[in-house]
Amino acid sequence: MTAPAELSPTLQLACDLIRRPSVTPVDADCQTQMMNRLGAVGFQLEPMRFEDVDNFWATHGTQDGPVLCFAGHTDVVPTGPVQQWQHEPFEALIDADGMLCGRGAADMKGSLASMVIACERFVQDYPDHRGKVAFLITSDEEGPAHHGTKAVVERLKARNERLDWCIVGEPSSTTLLGDVVKNGRRGSLGAKLTVRGKQGHVAYPHLARNPIHLAAPALAELAAEHWDEGNAFFPPTSFQISNLNSGTGATNVVPGDLTALFNFRFSTESTVEGLQQRVAAILDKHQLEWSIDWALSGLPFLTEPGELLDAVSSSIQAVTGRETRPSTSGGTSDGRFIATMGTQVVELGPVNATIHQVDERILASDLDLLTEIYYQTLVRLLA
């Protein structure tokens, strides 16, 4: 373990945040620590607590000019079996290989530390910068996400706040820092399908209707359906059944109904309404008695090449010498809520190889590089 005094300001702050066990939706005063740092360099602070979720909005600058927002979350997923970790998950240490170890190192307390240190330096170097630097931080990204970024965005919209550009600190890199940035995400549409049959004795099938037998051809057709071709930015829309449940547990009873959980990860080539209509048509084609509950987690969004992506790519090139690759792969993020404000959104953070795993870790030196990338992006856009 490197002595604390030998650590850079970014790593000192990252370790402090990791040592706070902020499992969703608990914040464990991570946001207080961040706000104290930002307030000390002149940011206007606005805590926003909704239900049991802590959030904050902080700004520096004026309304005249563009707004660049840094967004992220202080909450982390549970550790899993602590005894399987090589080190205590909230100890936050740097091992002999130079890896910063601890829950949240990659997802995403390392990014938060880099954001804060980069912005401290920027507003001190450019106190009269154009436009506004903002922070939108939540403790409800890894959970239901109802009272976090989504709720803050709704309040900002009601106040007619503007966000031109946003950098979300999600761990976007795959092998080396900055090799990938996310410039969009697929939409996520989930559903619970119920197919009704008629319960009865297996010895008298003519007196029953087996929903498993009835639903199987329709489910097979849904799984084989080609939903769209995708496009230059998105792969084709995918459909996956994640759970099937039916029966009483007895071998001699025909079940009365079947439930299936499934999910679409969809591109901008498909719409929610279109997917719902096509599913209904297939179910009706098979003459099923069915009902369905839909749950939209987020719409797809895309940031095409422009000022934000150019500034981020140029900063990565200047700091690391690497060409970055824009990507829309992976799951959802809070960027889906921010994009509804008409904001250009990219995600840029550490290597994501160990996120949500036992022994989460990143290369400690990457955080200082990430700080410099964030700083140079600020300079390119707002200096």
Whether 352 and 174 have beta carbons less than 8 Å apart is answered as: yes
Rounded distance, CA 71 to CA 84, Å? 31
Q: Which of 75, 107, 120, 347 is catalytic?
A: 75
Rounded distance, CA 247 to CA 210, Å? 10
Rounded distance, CA 111 to CA 374, Å? 10
Residue located via tokens 């899993």: 80
Which pLDDT belongs to residue 337? 95
The contacts of residue 61 (CB under 8 Å, 6+ apart) are 129, 130, 131, 132, 133, 382
Rounded distance, CA 241 to CA 294, Å? 14
141 is catalytic: yes
Q: Which of 141, 334, 366, 372 is catalytic?
A: 141
Distances, alpha carbon 112 to alpha carbons 43, 73, 282, in Å: 16, 8, 46
Rounded distance, CA 177 to CA 349, Å? 7
Q: What single-letter DSSP state applies at residue 198?
A: B
Long-range Cβ contacts of 154-162 (<8 Å, 24+ apart): 155/48, 156/57, 156/341, 157/340, 157/341, 161/67, 161/341, 162/67, 162/341
Q: What is the dihedral of CA 327, 328, 329, 335, to 10 degrees?
A: 120
Q: Which of 268, 334, 333 is nearest to 302 (CA)?
A: 268
Please count the CA atoms within 13 angstroms of the CA of 152 that sit on its side-chain side. Answer: 33
Q: What single-letter DSSP state applies at residue 35?
A: H
310 is catalytic: no
Which pLDDT belongs to residue 222? 98
Rounded distance, CA 42 to CA 124, Å? 9
H helix and E strand count, the chain: 9, 19
pLDDT tens-digit profile of 256-295? 999 999 999 999 999 999 999 999 999 999 999 999 999 9
Which pLDDT belongs to residue 3? 46
Across all residues in the chain, what is the average pLDDT? 96
Inter-axis angle of helices 110-125 and 364-382, nearest 10: 40
Intervals of the chain under pLDDT 50: 1, 3
